Amino acid sequence: MPFERMLEPEVMDSAEEASDYNAMDHSQVNRVFVDDLLAVGGAEGDYLDLGTGTALIPVELCTRHPSCRVMAVDMAVHMLDIAVYNIEVEGLTDRIVLDRIDAKKLPYDNEQFDVVMSNSIIHHIPDPYVVLLEAVRVAKPGGLLFFRDLLRPEDDATVEQLVKTYAGEENDHQRQMFEDSLRAALSLEEIRELVGRIGYGAESVQPTSDRHWTWSAHRT
């Protein structure tokens, strides 16, 4: 069994954290996220991105998909400040809207979005069940729910190896952020139990890399 979950702050909201996060090389992970999202039914329409950080995934998505619009939300002011710059540089201000929103209390109507997506919000939330419920609530019937996050490793040795492999070239603070995120992540059994509680099968959550799980489902 994986070791006990060690929570990290729900909101990463210092200038240093935002700058270091944005400077890390997320390009391959973001490309794969968008590849997989589009492969399972991401289409034109209105997207909601929960925990957008510096909006790198909405930028990647809108650069490759000419017909979607994204509401990109986060609780971290410093992350959103950098997101503004990232969106403006790519000329996407007409398609990506930013807002400071708590994913546990979304201010949106029921059945509003064609796609609700998130990359790496779940490990920040003490009780992710509430976020998953909100995601389902605001998705249209038949709309796509697409969440990806880290898998909590089995032991300290695996944490050390993953940090070395995927953050070995980063600075000390960036490596520590990645390690903290791994330790705060859910196990595969934990996330499957959560989606089961909201009516989705365990098979809708699959391990999709040596450090990620993905939940992909269409709202019933």
143-170 tens-digit pLDDT: 999 999 999 999 999 999 999 999 998 8
**Contact predicate 140/113, CB 8 Å:** yes
pTM over 0.75: yes
Q: What is the CA radius of gyration of the chain?
A: 16
What is the CATH T-level fold of the domain 15-215, as seen in this structure?
A: Rossmann fold (3.40.50)
Give the per-residue pLDDT at 26.
Answer: 75
**Contact predicate 16/171, CB 8 Å:** no
Which residues of the chain fall short of a pLDDT of 70? 1-2, 12-13, 42
**SS3 at position 93:** coil
Give the per-residue pLDDT at 1.
Answer: 55
β-strands 139-150, 113-119: how paired?
parallel
Distance CA 70, CA 126 (A): 26
Give the per-residue pLDDT at 194.
Answer: 98
Task: Kindly list the domain boundaries of the chain, sorted by start residue.
Answer: 15-215
